[in-house]
Amino acid sequence: MTAPVAVPQKFALAPEAATQRSTLRIANMCCPVEEALIRKRLGGMQEVADLSFDLLNRKLSVAHVPDALPAVLAALADVGMAGLPDAPAQQAADPAAGKSWFAENRKLLLGGACALAAELCALALGDHSLLPAAFALVAIALSGVETYRKGFIALRHLSLNINALMALAVTGAVLIGQWPEAAMVMVLFGIAEAIEARSLDRARRAVQSLMAMAPETATVRTVSGWQPLPVAGVAIGSIVRVRPAERIPLDGVVTAGASAVDQAPITGESVPVDKAAGDALFAGSVNQHGELEFRTTAAASDSTLARIVRTVQEAQASRAPMQRFVDQFAAWYTPAVVAIAMAVAVLPPLLAGADWFTWIYRALVMLVVACPCALVISTPVTLVSGLTAAARRGILVKGGRFLEGGGKLRVLALDKTGTLTRGKPAVTDFIALVGTREEQLRRAAALAARSDHPVSHAVAVHAAQLRELPEVTGFAAQPGRGVSGHVEGRLLQMGNHRLVEEAGACSPELEAQLAALEEQGKTAIVLVEGKVPQAVIGVADTVRPESAEAVAALKRLGVHPVMLTGDNAHTARAIARQVGIEEVRSELLPHDKLAAITQLQAGGVAVGMVGDGANDAPALARADCGFAMGAAGTDAAIDTADVALMDDDPRKLPAFIALSRRTRSVLRQNIVLAIAIKGVFLGLTVAGEATLWMAVFADMGTSLLVVFNGLRLLRTARAGR
């Protein structure tokens, strides 16, 4: 199996040319052999601008000029890769569904019996008897027609893939009279290919099983009563009922009933979550004991589960650094070994008078050994297994390079609010400095109600018993400081210590009050009118119970945790002590967090950033790997983060880093194994100790080994490791 041909992603289209994208389903495209052939054929077309492959789902996305789709389909048919425009109905189609491996490969097994008969006849009657040759021809015809067809197409397009190499090797063996061995080699290759295809189907099914978690029908309230309807036809805003033990079919918000819901398929949470009116539900999760009614908030194609599946599918099509290295290595390795094989066949007989038969045979063995099949296929299978394993734990990874790069992190910067803490602070102190407490609380709550900041929300909730709040005009948010607006005709500001200092409202007495609150780990904010402080408000956030465990696990992995927060130094240090973080950087604005990440990266250190808010976006983008917390609750997080934790459990951070390191370890194991076995058999071939059938076992056996080794990552996900 040869590596994908190195062709540019953007071809010769003029910049102003308009393009459209078509997704094609290609039944015969299942591994890098076919990808290489398609890249080479379509890469030379002026009408094609970009190619994106999804080998596991056998899909090809083509960006092309309008009206060029027929030409693209014709080019695919020319290389034996006939494609059809993708449709949702096709996604469920699986020709192998319900069939056993033996039922799928009856002709191949019959060919194996003929190959064995050829071997036995050759032993009884001699290699030059007609009967072994007849059995061998039948065996090759039964098991090798498809290999010859694909090999001929590859040679016609000057591509040296495994089918071309096997066709040449078997044909060469026939021409030198090695009939039984030629037949056995073709049969063994066919069996190994069939086993490999079955193994790859497992990785494909692992991704498809994510989408299968959502039921196909939903019980919807209609004018005629409760009716089961296909989920694809349920409109947003419909009322859906789900009984105990049923899977929730669509995303929504509970309108009636109470129950516990197992959200492990979406968020990876190990225990069911209590749900009541107003709580969010996710498609694919399982209702436990009570009946629920909920209002749908997203179409089936745009549910959290559907977005997870799309992200995993898009991520497995991206190339990780190690995968790019393998592709580049294989691109020159195969032609080089083929050239060496030709030299082995010709030079010893010409220069040293050696036996032609012996050295041609050795060259044929080298052709089989030459294919870097195991090397090329090891990386995508391993990466897809790792991506799927992460998704099963509620960790959504945006691409193979982030899965591979996560294991390189040596520093992890963590935002405080919403990451290490619950992100839902509550008012603990309200001290009126001017006027009455109720008067100042009413004014503070009026400002707070206009802001979406967690601290403002806490103030608004604290004043929820106040029925009417004064009107606010000219409201403005001051990032990293607070808010301002006109309340009852007065310009008021409410914010942190920095805002108070900039307003010129600081005094020794106020400083003492703020310090007293901050020493207790509370966030202190001040309501200011002009230069006169009106009220001091103490707000406290609670640490997540899992945070200390997560930080300890990071340290065991050799990752240095750093807290980056916009909160004051006293509060930041108090929270840091509770979770076990020694390095704290506080009172940071968004650009300060960005600068901190850049500083931590000095000397090439790989740094990750964990956050949950828009103010963390610059730092998340600058970090080597950005983590978004609680992505199941926000639409934007899945689209913007490198890695999204579907719930708010920080323990998933060390779990992801550990999974990343296991993935990198398996990738290295597979590459070393593939190269080492190739090297050993190339040496044995030159020494005359290897045969054709041994070469097939070495090549395809190694492919199976690396596939099974990569699939181990799926088993560790099920075991919860």
Active site residues: 415
DSSP string, 236-263: TT-EEEE-TTPBP-S-EEEEE--EEEE-
661: its two tokens: 């390191």
* Strand, helix or coil for residue 245: coil
254: its two tokens: 């509970």
Which residue is it, tokens 């071939």? 685
Q: How far is CA 547 from CA 363, 571, 612, 632, in A?
A: 61, 16, 15, 19
Burial class of residue 437 in the structure, from the number of CB atoms within 10 Å of its CB (0-12 exposed, 13-18 middle, 19+ buried): exposed
DSSP code, position 479: T
Total count of residues recorded for the chain:
721
Please count the other Cβ atoms lying within 10 Å of the Cβ belonging to residue 247: 16
Report the candidate in 45, 3, 716 with the shortest Cα–Cα distance to residue 390.
Answer: 716
Contacts of 185 (CB under 8 A, 6+ apart): 166, 169, 170, 173, 368, 692, 693, 695, 696
Single-letter residue type at 449: A
Report the candidate in 333, 357, 332 with the shortest Cα–Cα distance to residue 345.
Answer: 357
Which residue is it, tokens 């398609």? 38
* Strand, helix or coil for residue 229: strand
Task: Name the β-bridge partners of 229.
Answer: 218
8: its two tokens: 């540019």
Contacts of 16 (CB under 8 A, 6+ apart): none
Enumerate long-range contacts of 219-223, CB under 8 Å, 24 or more apart: 219/243, 221/293
Single-letter residue type at 133: A
Strands (E) across 116-235 are located at: 217-222, 225-230
Q: For residue 504, is it left (φ>0), alpha (ψ between -120 and 50) or beta?
A: left
Q: How far is CA 97 from CA 45, 103, 205, 206, 524, in A?
A: 36, 11, 11, 14, 63
Q: Give me the half-sphere count of Cα atoms (radius 13 Å) on the Cβ side of residue 578.
A: 17
Which residue is it, tokens 């927060």? 565
Backbone angles phi, psi at 396, to 5 degrees: -105, 120
